Amino acid sequence: MTSPKSAKDVLRMCREHDVKAIDFRFMDFPGLWQHFTIPVKRLSEDTFEDGLGFDGSSIRGWQAINESDMLVVPQADTAFIDPFCELPTLVMICNIQDPITREDYSRDPRNVARKSVNYLNSTGIADTAFFGPEAEFFIFDDVRFDQAAQHGFYYVDSVEGEWNRGRVENPNLGNKIRHKEGYFPVPPADQLMDIRNEMMQTMIDCGLDVECQHHEVATGGQAEIDLKYDKLVKMADDMLIYKYIVKNVAKKHGKTVTFMPKPVFSDNGSGMHTHISFWKDGNPLFAGNGYAGLSDMALHAIGGILKHANSLLAFTNPTTNSYKRLVPGYEAPVNLAYSQRNRSAACRIPMYSSDPKTKRIEFRCPDPSCNPYLAFAALSMAAIDGIQNKIDPGDPLDKDIYDLPPEEAAAVKKTPASLDAALTALQMDHEYLLKGDVFTQDVIDTWIHYKRINEVDAVRMRPHPYEFCLYYDI
């Protein structure tokens, strides 16, 4: 499907597809897509200039009740036909503006991402930031959870789960995937091939550029679908469409998807390894004659990412659950180092090709619970800071971290152990994010406050089920 370029293109698209409804979408501050819908007859060329009003006080992390009026301004080049609505519906992603000043709203995550791109251009370093995330997720057959004053529990299930080897299924055919052995058995062990194919094809039908799909390492339905790298804002937009499609295809088949980083104990969690490269005038800037075929610019970008990694994780790994994935012993990278092949390092340089156009940095810490606009913008700002200040990333870590002598292993810096620690790091280290007014102080302060009150404290105050196993009999 060819993307429209203008309001006229969108209106023509509506006629060609007999569209009856227009769905306007935008992302709230923490990172969930929001929407409202109008009849197609209410859409005109003026809508793309004037926008439509809505109540911003009801959106998490946004306006106060006394200044609640806001505008959504649809972006024509984001339009696509919703593949799930019974009534023919066209979707557009929107920017958020103040209705009085018509200024872009500081806490609109898409605005932060757009400003990061503008800042990169203003530095003269590059004119394009390419991002390629590899989002992982679980496809479950059943999920139940609750938390009240006197009880708290969760329960997830998958027909593939190793824990169901002895379940009466009338018949149980025995096609269960052992822990950490989900990469890449063919059907019938892989029981989700058709669903992932449908997810992949639906993404293609909606204009996403899919590279591959496959089962992931964990038992119980872990999956991955990869998109080809694209420009920063476009890729963040695409990740929202990606999640929407994955969740709704699963629902169509009576299944459910979660992008929680660690929903299953004792097996791999879901990450979102993120590939980054800067280009200028159509030329890649990260290829060179240095370590792993990198340019000095790329090495300095790594230096910036590693220097600011602790605070970056407040955006790239923004949930309390994120830090149940970032633990030693799994593929999750907890070592703040770089390497051309070592997957336990936070920054890896893929070595699949010698083509300069493929030369990029892979930051392996992020997970798919993140708000992609904020995560990609923060990563870009850290890389820019490294380049501007020529930050030395130190020596690469090409050894197996788990075989290092204790004193050598102890010298390798590690990722924060909790969301609280990452938020503290963000409090102490965010000047690099404020450059170019990309992340305003208002955004930083609101993010820290919201996460501390609504997530860190909320989890800390509640008894954990395993605490009963540990302490009930004391």
- Would you state the pLDDT for residue 44? 96
* 455 given a catalytic annotation: no
pLDDT in tens, 162-172: 999 999 999 99
pLDDT at 1 over 60: no
- Would you state the pLDDT for residue 333? 87
Phi-psi region of 251 (alpha: psi -120 to 50; beta: other; left: phi over 0): alpha
Q: How many CB atoms lie within 10 A of CB 414?
A: 17
* 136 given a catalytic annotation: yes
Q: Which residues of 439-467 are buried (b: 16+ CB within 10 A; e: fewer)?
A: bbeebbebbbeebbeebbeebeeeeeeee
Which amino acid does the sequence have at 140? F
The single residue of 82, 108, 141, 216 carrying the catalytic annotation is: 216
* 407 given a catalytic annotation: no
- Would you state the pLDDT for residue 144? 97
355 or 186, greater pLDDT: 186
427 or 345, greater pLDDT: 427
pLDDT at 75 over 70: yes
What average pLDDT does range 398-420 have in this prediction?
84
Using CA atoms, how far apart are residues 307 and 390, in angstroms rounded to an integer?
A: 12
- Would you state the pLDDT for residue 61? 83
pLDDT at 67 over 80: no
Using CA atoms, how far apart are residues 141 and 136, in angstroms rounded to an integer?
A: 17
Q: What percent of the chain lies above the pLDDT cut of 90?
A: 86
Query: What's the pLDDT band for 177 if we cut at 50, 70, 90?
Result: very high
Query: What's the pLDDT band for 11 if we cut at 50, 70, 90?
Result: very high
The single residue of 12, 17, 165, 343 carrying the catalytic annotation is: 343
Using CA atoms, how far apart are residues 180 and 331, in angstroms rounded to an integer?
A: 10
Using CA atoms, how far apart are residues 93 and 86, in angstroms rounded to an integer?
A: 20
* 55 given a catalytic annotation: yes
* 403 given a catalytic annotation: no
Query: What's the pLDDT band for 305 if we cut at 50, 70, 90?
Result: very high
The single residue of 28, 226, 362, 367 carrying the catalytic annotation is: 362
Q: Any bridge partners for residue 230, and if so which?
A: 131
The single residue of 114, 196, 360, 364 carrying the catalytic annotation is: 364
pLDDT at 66 over 60: no
Query: What's the pLDDT band for 69 if we cut at 50, 70, 90?
Result: confident
- Would you state the pLDDT for residue 330? 66
* 348 given a catalytic annotation: no
Q: What percent of the chain lies above the pLDDT cut of 70?
A: 98
The single residue of 28, 108, 190, 224 carrying the catalytic annotation is: 224
* Six token digits for residue 343: 């997957």
Q: What is the mean pLDDT of the chain?
A: 94
* 408 given a catalytic annotation: no
* 331 given a catalytic annotation: no
Cβ within 8 Å of residue 270, ≥6 positions away: 135, 136, 137, 138, 216, 222, 259, 260, 261, 262, 263, 325, 367, 368
Closest residue by Cα to residue 160 from 223, 235, 225, 230: 223
* 364 given a catalytic annotation: yes
The single residue of 25, 273, 300, 325 carrying the catalytic annotation is: 273
- Would you state the pLDDT for residue 332? 76
